[in-house]
Amino acid sequence: MVDRAPVLVIEGVVKEYGDVARTRALNGVDLVVGPGELTALIGPSGSGKSTLLNIIGLLDRPTSGRVVLGGKDTTDLDERELTTMRAHVLGFIFQFHNLLSAFTALENVMLPAWGDRGAPTREMRAAAEDILHAVGLADRMHYRVTNLSGGQQQRVAIARALVHRPALVLADEPTGNPDTASSDEVFALMRKFNRELGTTVLVVTHDSRIADGCDRVVELVDGRVRSDHAR
């Protein structure tokens, strides 16, 4: 039987900043993301998109409310447990690739598992090689990332996010490159893995073309979900 339990459940999430003058960035956000969904999170600057993504990515904690990832309530997890969940349950794709320039494409893709396990393994290397083949970089995997084009570096970043088959991939403006062809290529890869592997993806974007290509669009305004509809 296929497990159709939600990958992500957000209930009543509030986020406030400041000690004296409190600023509320998120105001009771509720959201459920099912397995295999490709969801766009849109909204104007200052709407709370980045704050929400940081909370979902376990990089920040909500002031109140709860986040359930892969069926596990993250509310009472300590820092070590949160780090473990980030390493095993989540994948991250950023506009700025955050690759290590002194490392090859293969080494960059291996790094998350390498850091988690303390040493590289044959299985780790094989998984990295397979995903680099899948993103079209079989002939570039031993190149330092500084010797790759911007589009190739972004494909390395996508491979790194997907290599451990995470339950949820968070993509923060991954198509922010002003080059339309590069943006289309990045989105096509995310859609490919979404369809072929059933990877669940939540993408923050300001690009209406990307949002139109997603299965679902959630609009955040003033820290609240204003609309949520399927395409």
Q: What's the pLDDT tens digit per position in 65-77?
A: 999 999 999 999 9
Residue 106 CA to residue 17 CA, distance in Å, equals 39
Higher pLDDT, 116 or 59: 59
pLDDT tier for residue 110 given thresholds of 50, 70 and 90: very high
pLDDT computed for residue 1 by the predictor: 43
User: If you average pLDDT over residues 149-159, what whole number do you get?
Assistant: 89
Q: What's the pLDDT tens digit per position in 191-224?
A: 999 998 899 999 999 888 889 999 999 999 999 9
Q: Where are the alpha helices (DSSP H) in the chain?
A: 49-56, 79-89, 105-117, 122-134, 150-162, 180-197, 208-212
User: If you average pLDDT over residues 108-137, what whole number do you get?
Assistant: 87
Q: Which residues contact 77 (CB under 8 A, 6 or more apart)?
A: 85
Higher pLDDT, 157 or 20: 157
The CATH class of 35-47+77-230 is alpha beta
Give the single-character DSSP code of 104.
Answer: B
So where are the chain's domains? 35-47+77-230
Quick one: tokens of 71?
Answer: 């069926």
Q: Which residues contact 69 (CB under 8 A, 6 or more apart)?
A: 7, 8, 56, 58, 85, 89, 90, 167, 168
Please tell me the total number of residues recorded for the chain in this structure.
231
Q: Is the pLDDT of residue 93 over 70?
A: yes
pLDDT computed for residue 97 by the predictor: 74
Q: Is the pLDDT of residue 128 over 90?
A: yes
Residue 193 CA to residue 206 CA, distance in Å, equals 21
Quick one: tokens of 56?
Answer: 């979902």
Q: What's the pLDDT tens digit per position in 172-183?
A: 888 665 455 667
pLDDT computed for residue 180 by the predictor: 58
